[in-house]
């Protein structure tokens, strides 16, 4: 805690510090004014949920679909670019968790699209299908780790966020195992959990959207934990 009762957290989030004298202001950085950016959380969550839902249904072999090509546009523009933008807009709001999560998963969807598009030659670079699926399994395990780290950070946020990142972590793990061992049933189970993850993200996104409305017809609880008293 700095003098005048201004915490570093408030400075990070753009709080305005008023100097009591010109001498006090000398040598001190001037914090930016609070941002006017609206909450981009719903955009990021809906983009994530929609792309995850489609691919997860494909992984679960819904309607006997075996090829994920239709979701590529969603992966680039919705799960990728839209979520990346949501992450960038969270930075000036001072929300480290959301900016990290949205930017990371936006990058995930863009990188996943690169793997699937033949023009980039990712699949063609592998000698066998087994080598490719093993490489893809390592890719998914890495995202399982990233999601687990975010889950740890979410443990004091809300029940809804714990459910979201918990389900997503297990989804990545099952998909990775499915690729490592060519186990279709495990991949389908990962697809089913991915569908559940998508609807949890929809729920949180709708909750934030309704909370931003002055005359919302109803509100959705997230099970937010009370802040600890310092």
- Among left, alpha and beta (phi > 0; psi -120 to 50; other), residue 144 is alpha
Average predicted confidence (pLDDT) for the chain: 88
41-59 vs 83-90: helix crossing angle, rounded to 10: 150
Can you give the pLDDT at residue 16? 39
**pLDDT given for residue 163 in this prediction:** 98
Distance (Å, whole) CA 158 – CA 165: 11
Report pLDDT digits (tens) over 184-205: 999 999 999 999 999 999 999 9
Task: List the structure tokens of 41.
Answer: 């959380």
Domain boundaries defined on the chain? 38-212
On the question of pLDDT at 21 being above 90, the answer is: no
Give the residue from 93, 41, 79, 85 showing the smallest Cα distance to 207.
Answer: 41
Question: Could you read off the pLDDT of 45-87 as tens digits, one per residue?
Answer: 999 999 999 999 999 999 999 888 999 999 999 999 999 999 9
pLDDT digit string, tens, across residues 204-226: 999 999 999 999 999 999 999 98
3-state secondary structure string across the chain: CCHHHCCHHHHHCCCCCCCCCHHHHCCCCCCCCCCCCCCCHHHHHHHHHHHHHHHHHHHCCHHHCCCCHHHHHHHHHHHHHHHHHHHHHHCCCCCHHHHHHHHHHHHHHHHHHHHHCHHHCCHHHCCCHHHHHHHHHHHHHHHHHHHHHHHHHHCCCEHHHHHHHHHHHHHHHHHHHHHHHCCHHHHHHHHHHHHHHHHHHHHHHHHHHHHCCCCCCCCCCCCECCCCCC
- Asked if 188 contacts 59 with a C-beta cutoff of 8 angstroms, the reply is yes
Average pLDDT of span 135-145: 98
pTM for this structure? 0.84
Residue 95 has pLDDT above 80, yes or no: yes
What's CA 193's distance to the chain center, in Å? Answer: 16
């Amino acid at each position: 805690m700095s003098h005048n009762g201004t915490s570093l957290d408030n400075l990070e989030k753009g709080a305005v510090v008023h100097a009591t004298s010109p001498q006090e202001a000398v040598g001190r950085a001037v914090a930016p004014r609070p941002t006017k950016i609206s909450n981009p959380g719903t955009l990021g969550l809906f983009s994530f949920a929609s792309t995850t839902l489609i691919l997860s249904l494909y992984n679960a072999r819904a309607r006997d679909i075996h090829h994920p090509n239709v979701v590529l546009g969603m992966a680039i523009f919705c799960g990728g670019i839209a979520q990346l933008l949501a992450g960038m807009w969270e930075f000036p709001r001072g929300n480290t968790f959301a900016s990290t999560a949205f930017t990371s998963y936006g990058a995930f969807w863009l990188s996943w699209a690169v793997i699937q598009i033949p023009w980039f030659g990712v699949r063609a670079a592998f000698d066998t299908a087994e080598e490719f699926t093993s490489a893809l399994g390592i890719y998914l395990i890495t995202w399982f780790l990233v999601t687990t780290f975010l889950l740890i950070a979410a443990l004091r946020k809300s029940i809804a966020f714990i459910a979201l990142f918990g389900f997503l972590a297990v989804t990545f793990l099952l998909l990775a195992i499915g690729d490592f061992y060519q186990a279709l049933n495990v991949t389908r189970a990962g697809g089913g959990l991915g569908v559940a993850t998508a609807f949890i993200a929809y729920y949180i996104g709708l909750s934030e959207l309704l909370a931003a409305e002055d005359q919302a017809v109803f509100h959705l609880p997230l099970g937010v934990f009370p802040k600890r008293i310092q």
